[in-house]
Amino acid sequence: MKIPKDLKYTKEHEWVRFEEDDLAVIGITDYAQNELGDIVYVELPEVGDQVETMESFGTIEAVKTVADLYSPVTGTVDEINDTLADEPELVNSDPYGDGWMIKVRTKEAPDDLLTPEEYKDMIG
């Protein structure tokens, strides 16, 4: 199970990478995509939408189930991964790379995000 060291995590299995210019890149973890199974659809917000910490910003549909996606940060959606509309399976094949979901412009990183070690301990 891949758990990159340069990311932060939520208990709901999203990852976030903080980049320059207050930009946070968000996706779901390798563990989450593995638990969901084959992903067939991803519903994302529109550019310019507001997202709130730990509130749903979209849904992800797999063969087995549909799950909500939760934002690790509060801010404005700056970019969405349009490629997922035609290739949702990228979340399965590259959850930390081409399978990213949204980029949010945010002013702060929440204090309660998990470190890679804490996330690893949580999923066992």
What pLDDT, on the 0 to 100 scale, is given for residue 108? 85
Burial of 6 (0-12, 13-18, 19+ CB in 10 A): exposed
38-59 pLDDT, tens per residue? 999 999 999 999 999 999 999 9
Please, what sign has the CA dihedral across residues 85, 101, 71, 4? positive
Identity of the amino acid at 59: T
Is residue 69 within 8 A of residue 59, CB to CB? The reply is yes
Identity of the amino acid at 51: V
CA-CA distance, 92 to 8, in Å (whole number)?
Answer: 19
CA-CA distance, 17 to 8, in Å (whole number)?
Answer: 7
17-40 pLDDT, tens per residue? 999 889 999 999 999 999 999 999
Is residue 106 within 8 A of residue 75, CB to CB? The reply is yes
What pLDDT, on the 0 to 100 scale, is given for residue 107? 87
CA-CA distance, 61 to 76, in Å (whole number)?
Answer: 24
